[in-house]
A = this chain, B = another copy of it.
């Protein structure tokens, strides 16, 4: 009875996935704990514990048992009998399995050790602005990734294989096109902004803002966004993040900077956007590898949509500025909502990506994208990176770092081997603008909703269109299904022109 065998194998597969997800959740909690409040003397042993469980999880993903289940279930005869969610679970696991199986276990373990060492060397090198210290590690990491790409295989450009890890099916050809179109418009817009006589006054943002008040206001805004505090919590960390342990437990963190009221506020909205996504994934996906975002780019589209396109919008501050003034009367009573809105949207080329404004942020990403692409086509060597970096900053942003600490060493990503990750941030901005255009068509009173503090219909629309699907659709499927067309950078350009044209009276 082949049916019985099929049902048995499917049931075995689902139990196995649930077990893997359990390890994933336990590991996620341990990371959250280490970053939020674990006592420091326990960290060394805790890191080993995380290592043991991560190793087990990896072994499960490449086990003979997994191989056998995938071999059976991915035969067309069986695959056709599966539901959509089951099919995608199979293909998702098979992709991981095939990738991992091609790397010799020992090679992979050496690489894990290498990146772990590289991260601590990078920390020192950044502190000392000493690229030479970090260079040998980065060279080995790039070389190992090139070896891995040869084992994994690639289509067209070697870098495509890395991009696909974070943004399934994304390619150099596509990114060249969309980043090219974006740059072509952003660079002249930036020049016009810099030439505008209408520069905002931003001094009042840098007063002292009591931490408890900042926290109360952040919690208030999260509540307004529809973040469910029965399915999450807000804590403090040096580097803010969101982590979805399961849809009923999606935690976010923020950092309160006493002399910058906007840092925690927009950080919280950003992580809150990630969290709304994870909280609203359909219960059907729980226990499968699909209970997460469709891609890093789609995930980032949600954090940036909430942070920039809602949080940094005029209707939003028309509604909430009075509350912010009430929280900080002595600092803001003399500041008008218009002045606050303008200051909060100041555009100014800067050296550090994470502190960049909404417009120039994309240029920081393009610099990194160009460099990664050239590293993996072997047109650029690691030893040339400082010079290449500085030149590209001059080309894209018109400024250059005075040392490598604020230049090529500023991000941790390369130390961890995360090549192909950076484009997600700019893709997120483009997806967000494209989704923004559709939601404004489908909810024609969008601005009034925001201006009325009525954000839940927006969250619900995004849940229906995006969040609930988790990873059961690809990024391309999501964006096409929601907006009726594939990724198109024009919407972001239009959004920038409208917003900054008005702000800087261009």
> Which residues of A are in contact with B by a Cβ distance under 8 Å?
18-19, 21-23, 25-27, 29-30, 33, 37-46, 48-49, 52-53, 228-233, 245-246, 248-249, 251, 286
Contacts and interface: CB of A to CB of B under 8 A. Distances in A.
Contacts of A41: 228, 230-231, 248-249
Given A19-B52, A39-B230, 10 more contacts: A18-B48, A22-B53, A23-B52, A26-B49, A29-B30, A39-B233, A40-B230, A45-B248, A45-B286, A46-B245
Nearest to A249: B42
A109 to B, nearest CB: 15
Contacts of A230: 39-41
A39 B229 contact: yes
Contacts of A19: 52
A231 B26 contact: no
A248 B53 contact: no
A248 B25 contact: no
6 contacts: A22-B52, A25-B46, A26-B26, A29-B33, A41-B230, A45-B246
Contacts of A39: 229-233, 248-249, 251
A246 B26 contact: no
A38 to B, nearest CB: 6
Number of this chain's copies in the complex: 2
A248 B43 CA distance: 8
Nearest to A26: B26
A472 B232 CA distance: 41
A278 to B, nearest CB: 11
A13 to B, nearest CB: 16
A47 B137 CA distance: 42
A49 B245 CA distance: 11
Contacts of A37: 233
A42 B228 contact: no
Nearest to A51: B22
A246 B46 contact: yes
A11 to B, nearest CB: 16
Nearest to A229: B39
A25 B195 CA distance: 59
A53 to B, nearest CB: 6
Contacts of A43: 248
A197 to B, nearest CB: 50
Nearest to A291: B45
A289 to B, nearest CB: 15
Contacts of A45: 25, 246, 248-249, 286
Given A44-B248, A248-B44, A25 B38 contact: no
Contacts of A245: 42, 46
Contacts of A286: 45
A39 to B, nearest CB: 5
B49 A25 contact: yes
Nearest to A45: B246
A150 B195 CA distance: 89
Nearest to A28: B49
Contacts of A52: 18-19, 22-23
Contacts of A232: 39
Nearest to A245: B42
A26 B30 contact: yes
A461 B232 CA distance: 44
A16 to B, nearest CB: 11
Nearest to A27: B26
Contacts of A40: 230, 248
A26 B33 CA distance: 11
A49 B33 contact: no
The 5 closest A-B pairs by CB, nearest first: A42-B249, A41-B248, A42-B248, A22-B52, A41-B231
Contacts of A38: 249
A230 B42 CA distance: 8
A245 B29 CA distance: 14
Contacts of A46: 25, 245-246, 249
Contacts of A248: 39-45
Nearest to A48: B22
Nearest to A44: B248
A19 B51 CA distance: 10
A27 B53 CA distance: 11
B42 A231 contact: yes
Nearest to A37: B233
Nearest to A40: B230
A251 B39 CA distance: 9
A46 B286 CA distance: 12
Contact of A53 (B26, B228, B233, B251): B26
A231 B41 CA distance: 5
A231 B42 CA distance: 6
Residue among A23, A45, A228 with the most chain B CB within 10 A?
A: A45
